[in-house]
């Protein structure tokens, strides 16, 4: 199989990780496009699976607190994410590249979310020659503790209060990564010990279809 060449942002001496987040669609002229974000990182070249997984997990919180994401499948405010990734690609291929697909959803227990994710899984299998295998049972993803409500997407990454998930422009974006949002200096200081790790890893952030 012919090698896929490095893209312009990718480096031969690093593990190149791209996380693509998908939210609710927006009407662009005469067709609907999902709102998206692409976050790119360069991790050490050793392709250490634990390190990559940890980096992605850390990053997901920051991506969630970057915009007021809506459920990809119903348009309600998102509180949870579901990710598909392709570790076999980064572990087995000549090219040190990993793509992680992150889907913003309102509630993993809702039927429309499960149907939407299952349909997405099948679509990805069609695109990647069935390498994802069958959709794992939803019970295997880990259960949300009963009564637990996860913070709203787009709320402050520090305090995560519901009423901070306001319209664009009110929260402040981290000056370095231009992604994570907080409601003010106090929350930024309080969250910095956590955020600085993710912040330092980010190479670029691109929002698409946000107008």
Q: Which residues bind Zn ion (CB under 5 A)?
A: 71, 73-74, 76, 106, 156, 158-159, 174, 176-177, 180, 183, 187, 199
Q: Are strands 97-105 and 80-85 parallel, antiparallel or unpaired?
A: antiparallel
Nearer to Zn ion, 97 or 103 (CB): 103
Query: In whole angstroms, how close is the CB of 53 to Zn ion at the nearest point?
Result: 21
Cβ-proximal residues to 150 (8 Å cutoff; 6+ apart), any chain:
79, 80, 144
Query: In whole angstroms, how close is the CB of 6 to Zn ion at the nearest point?
Result: 26
Query: In whole angstroms, how close is the CB of 9 to Zn ion at the nearest point?
Result: 18
Nearer to Zn ion, 132 or 165 (CB): 165
Query: In whole angstroms, how close is the CB of 89 to Zn ion at the nearest point?
Result: 27
Nearer to Zn ion, 20 or 177 (CB): 177
Nearer to Zn ion, 19 or 156 (CB): 156
> Token match 């291929």: residue?
93
Nearer to Zn ion, 96 or 107 (CB): 107
> Token match 């791209």: residue?
18
Structure tokens at 110: 């809702």
Structure tokens at 114: 């499960």
Query: In whole angstroms, how close is the CB of 190 to Zn ion at the nearest point?
Result: 8
Nearer to Zn ion, 71 or 132 (CB): 71
Query: In whole angstroms, how close is the CB of 46 to Zn ion at the nearest point?
Result: 25
């Amino acid at each position: 199989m012919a090698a896929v060449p490095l893209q312009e942002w990718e480096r031969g001496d690093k593990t190149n990780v791209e996380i693509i987040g998908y939210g609710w669609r927006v009407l662009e002229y005469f067709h609907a496009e999902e709102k998206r974000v692409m976050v790119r990182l360069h991790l050490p070249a050793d392709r250490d699976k634990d390190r990559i997984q940890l980096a992605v997990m850390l990053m997901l919180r920051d991506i969630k607190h970057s915009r007021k994401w809506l459920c990809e499948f119903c348009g309600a405010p998102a509180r949870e994410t579901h990710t598909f990734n392709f570790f076999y690609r980064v572990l087995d291929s000549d090219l040190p590249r990993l793509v992680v697909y992150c889907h913003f959803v309102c509630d993993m227990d809702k039927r429309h979310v499960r149907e939407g994710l299952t349909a997405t899984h099948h679509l990805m299998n069609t695109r990647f020659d069935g390498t994802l295998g069958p959709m794992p049972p939803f019970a295997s993803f880990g259960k949300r503790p009963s009564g637990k409500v996860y913070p709203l997407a787009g709320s402050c990454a520090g305090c995560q209060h519901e009423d901070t998930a306001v319209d664009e422009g009110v929260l402040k974006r981290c000056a370095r990564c231009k992604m994570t949002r907080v409601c003010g200096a106090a929350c930024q200081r309080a969250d910095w010990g956590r955020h600085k790790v993710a912040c330092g890893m980010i190479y670029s952030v691109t929002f698409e279809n946000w107008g």
